[in-house]
Structure 1
Amino acid sequence: MTVTKTDARTAAARGAEPAAAAGPTGPARSERLTALVQQHGALAVLVLVSLVASFSFDSFATGDNIGNMATSSAFLAIVALGMTFVIITGGIDLSVGSLFALGGVLAAWGSRHGTLVALLLPLLVCGAIGVVNGLLVARSRLAPFIVTLAAMLGARGLMLALTDEGADTYLIGKGSFLAELGQGTTFGLGNPVWITLALFVAGAVVLRRTRFGQHVYAVGGNEDAAALMGAPVARTKILVYTLSGLLAGLAGALNAAWLASGVTILGNGMELEAISAVVIGGTLLTGGLGYVSGSLVGVLLLKVIQNVINQIGSLDSSYQQVVSGAFLAVVVVAQTWLGRRRQLM
């Protein structure tokens, strides 16, 4: 069989077609893979760690242990939800740990006047502190780190003043609706877990399906560009800090209902845990990119790691912080690398 030059050129052209087509699709496929790892990498690690722990420890996958982990994760998750909105805008909120403790004390104190007062009081006070944070950051253009650090100290001081330097502990009546809200169960899961799930569903809808959510991403991506496009930059910042304060106060109130008292020593370092969970879940500290679902996964991953350390038994509880810190460092390095990789594509 004789092959002419025309046939050879035609065959060569046909052979070159797949290579030409693969050119633009290769980077696109790589970019999708990078985005997938960045968004769902923490979920894959959570599943892997849970599977290993289930085979390694008999008590890990039991209903009681899972229920306890879910309930204890709920309060941190609510705080992390508010932190997600703040970090996506490029900010930070260091006051949430103190607001969490303050909210619990206010809820326990207010429970003497009924459940409505017990729930509204921490929301009003912590929400007002969030508004002040937002105003100072957005209107006065002060650094979020300094503003929320001052709020952290102020809220902690207010909580100590209410409890006589921690000497007074306010209790919540066992038969009250507030106690049932924190200690009761529905379909085998604690009520705080269901409240947390409802809040995360609402948060995901707000962030992804509303104009406010679009403004949150725009402000975090490029504040000047967002202002040029007509986005209300100052109002968006005020709202996210207000939301963070409200959620921290609510988490504190629910935790007080769960413990049946306003414990003053809680909340220390909680802001760092919340930031860690949000970053582990795929939200960039530089702002502009983040996922509500990822923050929930980040919280669960931290709690699972802590539970595994407790299951080992021979390790001191301080190792929880060591492991969490090391894991956070790895995640930040990985996110930075993935972010630069996506920009180059």
Structure 2
Amino acid sequence: MTQTPSSQTILEAFVPRSNLQLARLCVITVVVALLIFGALRYDHFLSSYNILSFLRYNSMFMLIALGMALVIMTGGIDLSVGGTAAMASVVAALLSPYGWAVGLAGGLLAGLGVGMINGLVVTRLRIQPFIATLAAMLASYGTALLLAGNQSVSVSYDTAFTLIGQDDFLGFPIPAWIAIAAYVAGWVALERHPVGRRILAIGDGEATAKLMGLKVERTLFGVYAASGLLAGLAGVILAAQFGAGQPTEGVGWELFAISSVVVGGTVLSGGVGSVGATMAGALLLAMVFNILNFENGLGVISLSAYWQSVIRGAFLLVVVVLQAKLASARQNP
């Protein structure tokens, strides 16, 4: 008597076992090379001040990169993360006088709300993620400006709200602890939970995933909600770290997130991805900018902040071209 394979067995057989080891190795190699270069060239590159400041500031970008990675693995995109973070920072700042917990919860709920709307529009109205999240981005920035009265909103310093972004725990920045916890949860979900296999299966082919009986709409809704929640958390850290809600902040954050995800080896078409490699990609891009700041300090070069966008775009273009070449080589050996 033949046994009927379970849905779990079918799912594991269906999900492509693409090898991300090369991408991970390349990213880690470049990160290590930059660390060695920075340590040899700059006196205080590996100082505790620079390391802790680096982790404290870039934790926001690591969070939005994680949410973006999950969305891209399904074959989608979330252009609203920057606007969501800006709106969440304003909401958190406005609520901070009522206590740090209220400010934190308000920012998280604001981000979650945007993510849930994105999920509903994509799954129920069947609007393309690019258009749906672009509309959400514009709406989020507009809402942030309306709530803030077109200006920064100072947070309350009497409720310990700023400790979320400025304080340390066990000698390590609290924002960095938050980012690490988020990545651990993301890794567990992707590598050790059925939802991870569903995410990759949807990215590899949504129609096929539906035929297999997978809960496609529920999974997509959850992924966009998670991306919004992480963007909201980044907004809370933004407000707590700089002492004000920033309604005009977040411009270009979605590009940083996409670049981090792609540099980490996640394919834009979906179906392939890694949480750990996404973290490495985010750290790599952030380290490049950190090195540029040190180089500016030496007076050898003088690059404005606008060069960050140029470099980010160049990174993204090079990696996408390399991914396309590798995909073509696999299909036509």
User: Do the two structures share a fold, i.e. TM-score over 0.5?
Assistant: yes
CA 1:33–1:165 in structure 2 vs 1: closer, same or farther (change >3 Å)? closer
Q: 1:285 is matched with which residue: 268, 272, 297?
A: 268
Please give the alpha-carbon distance, in whole angstroms, between the structure 2 residues aligned to 1:212 and 1:339: 26
1:315 aligns with 302
Query: 1:33, CA displacement in angstroms?
Result: 11
Superposed, 1:233-272 pairs within 5 Å as: 233-272=216-255
What TM-score do the two structures reach when normalised by structure 1?
Answer: 0.86
Report sequence identity in percent: 41
Q: Is the CA contact (8 Å cut-off) linking 1:34 and 1:338 kept in structure 2?
A: no
Please give the alpha-carbon distance, in whole angstroms, between the structure 1 residues aligned to 2:314 and 2:288: 12
Query: 1:178, CA displacement in angstroms?
Result: 2.0
Query: 1:179, CA displacement in angstroms?
Result: 1.6
Please give the alpha-carbon distance, in whole angstroms, between the structure 2 residues aligned to 1:84 and 1:262: 26
Please give the alpha-carbon distance, in whole angstroms, between the structure 1 residues aligned to 2:273 and 2:122: 21
Deviations 1:301-341 (A, max 9, x none): 11111011111112222222222221221111122222333
Query: 1:145, CA displacement in angstroms?
Result: 0.7
CA 1:209–1:264 in structure 2 vs 1: closer, same or farther (change >3 Å)? same
* Bigger-Rg structure (1/2): 1
Superposed, 1:198-209 pairs within 5 Å as: 198-209=181-192
1:60 aligns with 45
1:79 aligns with 64
Q: 2:142 is matched with which residue: 157, 161, 172?
A: 157
Superposed, 1:33-112 pairs within 5 Å as: 35-112=20-97
Q: Which amino acid aligns with 2:28?
A: L
Query: 1:124, CA displacement in angstroms?
Result: 1.7
Deviations 1:203-223 (A, max 9, x none): 100111111111101100111
1:330 aligns with 318
Q: Which amino acid aligns with 1:315?
A: S
Which has the larger helix fraction? Answer: 1
Please give the alpha-carbon distance, in whole angstroms, between the structure 2 residues aligned to 1:252 and 1:204: 22
Structure 1 vs Structure 2 CA RMSD: 1.7
Q: Mean alpha-carbon deviation: is it higher for 320-329 or for 264-273?
A: 320-329
Deviations 1:253-309 (A, max 9, x none): 012111121122310110111111111111100000001111111111111110111
Please give the alpha-carbon distance, in whole angstroms, between the structure 2 residues aligned to 1:149 and 1:177: 35
Please give the alpha-carbon distance, in whole angstroms, between the structure 2 residues aligned to 1:73 and 1:86: 20
Is 2:178 aligned against 1:195? yes
Is 2:160 aligned against 1:177? yes
Q: Is the CA contact (8 Å cut-off) linking 1:38 and 1:338 kept in structure 2?
A: no
Please give the alpha-carbon distance, in whole angstroms, between the structure 2 residues aligned to 1:39 and 1:147: 31
1:29 aligns with none
SS state of the match for residue 154, structure 2?
Answer: coil
Please give the alpha-carbon distance, in whole angstroms, between the structure 2 residues aligned to 1:123 and 1:237: 19
1:341 aligns with 329
Q: Which amino acid aligns with 1:316?
A: L
Q: Is the CA contact (8 Å cut-off) linking 2:86 and 2:250 kept in structure 1?
A: yes
Q: Is the CA contact (8 Å cut-off) linking 1:34 and 1:342 kept in structure 2?
A: no
What TM-score do the two structures reach when normalised by structure 2?
Answer: 0.89
Q: 1:139 is matched with which residue: 124, 146, 155?
A: 124
Query: 1:59, CA displacement in angstroms?
Result: 2.1
Query: 1:344, CA displacement in angstroms?
Result: 4.9
Q: Is the CA contact (8 Å cut-off) linking 1:309 and 1:319 kept in structure 2?
A: no
Please give the alpha-carbon distance, in whole angstroms, between the structure 1 residues aligned to 2:19 and 2:127: 35
**Structure 1 segments of 4 or more deviating over 6 A?**
none
Q: Number of matched residues?
A: 312
Gaps of 5+ in 2: 1-16
Gaps of 5+ in 1: 1-31
SS state of the match for residue 178, structure 1?
Answer: coil
Please give the alpha-carbon distance, in whole angstroms, between the structure 1 residues aligned to 2:25 and 2:92: 36
Deviations 1:27-75 (A, max 9, x none): xxxxx99742123321111111221122112221211111111111100
Q: Mean alpha-carbon deviation: is it higher for 292-301 or for 315-324?
A: 315-324
1:117 aligns with 102
Q: Is the CA contact (8 Å cut-off) linking 2:89 and 2:235 kept in structure 1?
A: yes
Q: 1:297 is matched with which residue: 280, 289, 294?
A: 280
CA 1:102–1:316 in structure 2 vs 1: closer, same or farther (change >3 Å)? same
2:3 aligns with none
SS state of the match for residue 161, structure 2?
Answer: helix
Q: Which amino acid aligns with 1:334?
A: L
Please give the alpha-carbon distance, in whole angstroms, between the structure 1 residues aligned to 2:239 and 2:20: 39
Please give the alpha-carbon distance, in whole angstroms, between the structure 1 residues aligned to 2:247 and 2:241: 14
